[in-house]
């Protein structure tokens, strides 16, 4: 198959995308165990958290503490999203990569950021 890429990179987004939609809010220690299990399973790129308002998305509370508690090892890339400019200071303190944030739609943005796409 000529023209096909030689490799792909999979980014595991469960700790961020999966948890933010759950009704149950996990504590930071439980989220840490989830990420450590994901690392142990072989994931090398993991989207760990999002720096959104925890009053609006309580599942993402404790992101800075979570990232600080995780191991750093060669080849492991820990990502976070930080769609809110007001939260970038905390986000930038973390030793992680900022994921490109793409807005999925007006309803999601209104919910997670308490504003519209036009704001």
Query: What percent of the chain shows pLDDT beyond 70?
Result: 66
Please give the structure tokens belonging to residue 34: 């989830």
Query: What percent of the chain shows pLDDT beyond 90?
Result: 39
Q: Length of the chain in residues, anyone? A: 119
Residue 98 lies in a domain: yes
Residue 1 lies in a domain: no
Question: Domain total for the chain?
Answer: 1
Neighbours of 72 (CB within 10 A): 9
Residue 2 lies in a domain: no
Residue 118 lies in a domain: no
Residue 25 lies in a domain: yes
| Each residue's pLDDT tens digit, 64-106 | 899 999 999 999 999 888 776 655 555 455 555 555 444 444 4
Burial of 83 (0-12, 13-18, 19+ CB in 10 A): middle
- Does the pLDDT of residue 46 top 80, yes or no? yes
Residue 27 lies in a domain: yes
Residue 8 lies in a domain: no
Burial 41-58 (b: 16+ CB within 10 A, else e): eebbbbbbbbbbeeeebe
**pLDDT of the residue at 101:** 46
Residue 59 lies in a domain: yes
Please give the structure tokens belonging to residue 116: 């519209």
**Which pLDDT band, with edges at 50, 70 and 90, does 117 fall under?**
very low
Domain limits for position 59: 14-113
Average pLDDT, the chain: 78
């Amino acid at each position: 198959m000529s023209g096909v890429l030689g490799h792909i990179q999979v980014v595991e987004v469960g700790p961020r995308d999966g948890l933010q939609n759950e009704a149950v809010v996990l504590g930071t220690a439980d989220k840490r165990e989830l990420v450590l299990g994901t690392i142990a399973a072989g994931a090398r790129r993991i989207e760990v958290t999002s720096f959104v308002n925890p009053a609006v998305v309580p599942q993402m509370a404790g992101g800075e503490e979570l990232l600080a508690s995780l191991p750093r090892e060669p080849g492991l890339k820990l990502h976070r999203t930080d769609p809110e400019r007001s939260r970038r200071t905390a986000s930038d303190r973390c030793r992680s990569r900022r994921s490109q944030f793409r807005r999925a739609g007006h309803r999601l943005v209104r919910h997670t950021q308490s504003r519209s796409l036009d704001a």
